[in-house]
């Protein structure tokens, strides 16, 4: 069943779901699960806080998926599965979604999880999450009784079940967070009381996050682990050394192709690219379209023609990454090959710059390029390559480093940049992960991973909005293809490569996180073989 038809299923009942791990691993029910133990995860992510209802990104999503439950979950495919919601049903016109909650579910303080908590949490996400489009079609939330949640939409919303999964819409305790403070800066976001399989007992930014098993978790017998420690490392080399020494047992979201190749040869680790289908990660070069020079379409086109994607994917990334040419990855069902790809053409780049008044016979164009810190191969190295590539076209580029992620995020979200490297995810459906970058209404100063390019095209808005409510898959594909053709023609962003995320884990790790959300999904079924 495709994403667009996910809402056509009239009713789902809780059932036994057999999830499988990588390769030939046996289903959970066929294994002798060993409970207990501590899983140490190597991470390069440094979250500011742990509340995914008001913050997007990997850093928050991975721990938040363990701390908070969501209404639904997904396995290794795009089939929705029961989680906090035991069952769900759509109205005949697909505009009303009714969900029945799991009975007996409690927060980490022992208080019951009710429909009131759920609708309050969904409203928090609707009002505060950077992905404004993911809940925009919702008109109202209702709770006819403590175990029933009703979501009323002004039109069909094909992505709604995905929206209710992973770390996108965590269920928060209203009695804890509804205290009159700004939810985005509430200090309770640092050590939140949650609803998921693990409770957070320590959060030392830049060092570690300690998650302890919640004995009152509503899924009987889970989680299997006693503890998850997310240990934060300064760079990928340190994380890999921790794996090789046995200090850590798993390293998700590893994108260093040099280290991936090294670990493939170890013989003691499993290396897989499974677990990223829902993420759809793209590495790109974003332009500040309000910059005096970059507001000229010819200049943005010239930048694109001067960059050789094949050099990036083959030389810089050892052939492990794929070129990216549009807002979605090649594996997406919405991928449209007939867009302007801006294949490398240095002569065309020089000609466009000259036409715009730069280069030989004109002014020297000077620009800055930023990049997300602590992502060496995919961000810093590509930024350095772009500097060299644009120099051949006659553009002087200064690479500006940020000391940490918050600094980079503040610069980009306040429009203090010319160009920046970035990594942005599709999040399974364009309504969730694509619209936010291009809709005029999502130009929101101070919020990273919104429309920080300040790009606005009413035609694109119309196409994206139509595709977001179209129930017919073929028609959705056509609408997105039209939108992607217009976006690539306007080029507020030049797409570079798909990020080659891999997960590496030791032989002790069983049922590794390889759902469509990977480590951004709940790890209540992961266990350690003693």
Domain ranges of the chain: 3-274+502-528, 281-498
For tokens 């949650």, what's the residue?
194
Q: Mind listing the pLDDT tens digit for each residue in 165-184?
A: 988 999 999 999 999 999 99
CB 238 within 8 A of CB 254: no
Q: Mind listing the pLDDT tens digit for each residue in 248-282?
A: 999 999 999 999 999 999 889 999 999 998 999 99
Distance CA 407, CA 418 (A): 15
Q: Strand 365-370 vs strand 395-400: parallel, antiparallel, or unpaired?
A: parallel
- 65: phi then psi, degrees, rounded to nearest 5: -65, -20
Task: Please give the full DSSP string across 486-521, using - where no structure is assigned.
Answer: HHHHH-SEEEEEE---EEEEETTEES-S-STTGGGS
CATH code for the part of the protein at 281-498 = 3.10.105.10
Q: Mind listing the pLDDT tens digit for each residue in 69-89?
A: 999 999 988 899 999 999 999
Distance CA 238, CA 243 (A): 9
Inform me whether the pLDDT recorded for 27 exceeds 60. Answer: no
Residue 21, pLDDT score: 32
Radius of gyration of the chain (CA): 23
Task: Please give the full DSSP string across 322-359, using - where no structure is assigned.
Answer: EE--SSS-TTSTT--S-S------HHHHHHHHHHTTBS
Has domain 3-274+502-528 been given CATH number 3.40.190.10? yes
Task: Please give the full DSSP string across 403-464, using - where no structure is assigned.
Answer: SSHHHHHHHHHTT--SEEEEEEE-TTSHHHHTHHHH-GGG--TT-TTSSTT----HHHHHHH
Give me the residues paired with residue 211 across strands. 200, 228
- The helix/strand/coil state of 402 is coil
Inform me whether the pLDDT recorded for 31 exceeds 70. Answer: no
Inform me whether the pLDDT recorded for 2 exceeds 50. Answer: no
CB 131 within 8 A of CB 168: yes
What's the mean pLDDT in 469-492?
Answer: 96
Residue 131, pLDDT score: 83
Q: Tell me the pTM.
A: 0.83
40 to 20, 130, 147, 169, 530: CA distances (angstroms): 21, 30, 36, 26, 15
What's the mean pLDDT in 382-396?
Answer: 98
């Amino acid at each position: 069943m495709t994403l667009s038809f996910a809402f056509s299923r009239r009713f789902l009942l809780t059932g036994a779901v057999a999830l499988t791990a990588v390769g030939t691993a046996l289903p959970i029910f066929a294994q002798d699960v060993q409970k207990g133990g501590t899983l140490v995860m190597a991470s390069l992510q440094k979250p500011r806080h742990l509340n995914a209802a008001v913050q997007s990104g990997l850093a928050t999503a991975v721990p938040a998926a363990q701390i908070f439950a969501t209404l639904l979950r997904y396995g290794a495919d795009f089939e929705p599965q029961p989680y906090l919601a035991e069952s769900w049903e759509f109205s005949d016109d697909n505009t009303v979604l009714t969900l029945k909650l799991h009975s007996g579910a409690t927060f980490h303080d022992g208080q019951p999880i009710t429909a009131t908590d759920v609708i309050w949490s969904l409203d928090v996400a609707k009002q505060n999450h950077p992905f404004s489009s993911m809940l925009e079609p919702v008109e109202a939330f209702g709770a006819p009784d403590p175990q029933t949640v009703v979501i009323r939409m002004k039109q069909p919303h094909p992505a709604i079940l995905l929206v209710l999964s992973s770390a996108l819409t965590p269920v928060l305790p209203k009695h804890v967070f509804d205290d009159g403070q700004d939810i985005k800066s509430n200090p309770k976001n640092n050590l939140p009381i949650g609803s998921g399989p693990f409770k957070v007992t320590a959060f030392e930014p830049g060092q570690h996050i300690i998650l302890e098993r919640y004995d009152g978790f509503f899924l009987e017998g889970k989680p299997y682990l006693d503890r998850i420690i997310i240990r934060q490392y300064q760079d990928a080399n340190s994380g890999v050394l921790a794996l090789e020494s046995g200090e850590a047992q798993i390293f998700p979201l590893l994108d260093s192709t040099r280290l991936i190749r090294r670990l493939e040869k170890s013989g003691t680790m499993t290396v897989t690219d499974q677990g990223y289908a829902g993420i759809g990660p793209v590495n790109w070069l974003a332009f500040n379209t309000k910059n005096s020079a970059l507001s000229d379409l010819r200049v943005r086109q010239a930048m694109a023609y001067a960059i050789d994607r094949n050099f990036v994917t083959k030389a810089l990334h050892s052939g492990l990454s794929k070129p990216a040419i549009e807002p979605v990855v090649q594996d997406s069902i919405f991928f449209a090959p007939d867009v302007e790809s801006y294949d490398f053409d240095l002569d065309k780049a020089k000609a466009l710059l000259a036409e715009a008044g730069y280069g030989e016979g004109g002014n020297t164009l000077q620009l800055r390029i930023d990049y997300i810190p602590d992502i060496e191969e995919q961000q810093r190295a590509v930024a350095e390559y772009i500097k060299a590539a644009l120099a051949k076209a006659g553009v002087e580029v200064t690479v500006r480093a940020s000391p940490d992620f918050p600094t980079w995020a503040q610069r980009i979200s306040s429009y203090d940049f010319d160009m920046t490297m970035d990594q942005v995810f599709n999040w399974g459906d364009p309504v969730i992960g694509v619209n936010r970058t291009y809709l005029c209404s999502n130009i929101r100063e101070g919020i990273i991973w919104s429309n920080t390019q300040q790009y606005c095209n009413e035609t694109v808005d119309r196409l994206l909005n139509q595709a977001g409510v179209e129930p017919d898959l073929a028609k959705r594909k056509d609408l997105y293809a039209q939108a992607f053709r217009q976006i690539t023609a306007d080029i507020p962003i030049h797409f570079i490569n798909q990020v080659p995320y891999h997960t590496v884990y030791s032989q002790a790790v069983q049922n590794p996180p390889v759902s469509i959300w990977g480590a951004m999904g709940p790890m209540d079924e992961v266990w350690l073989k003693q």
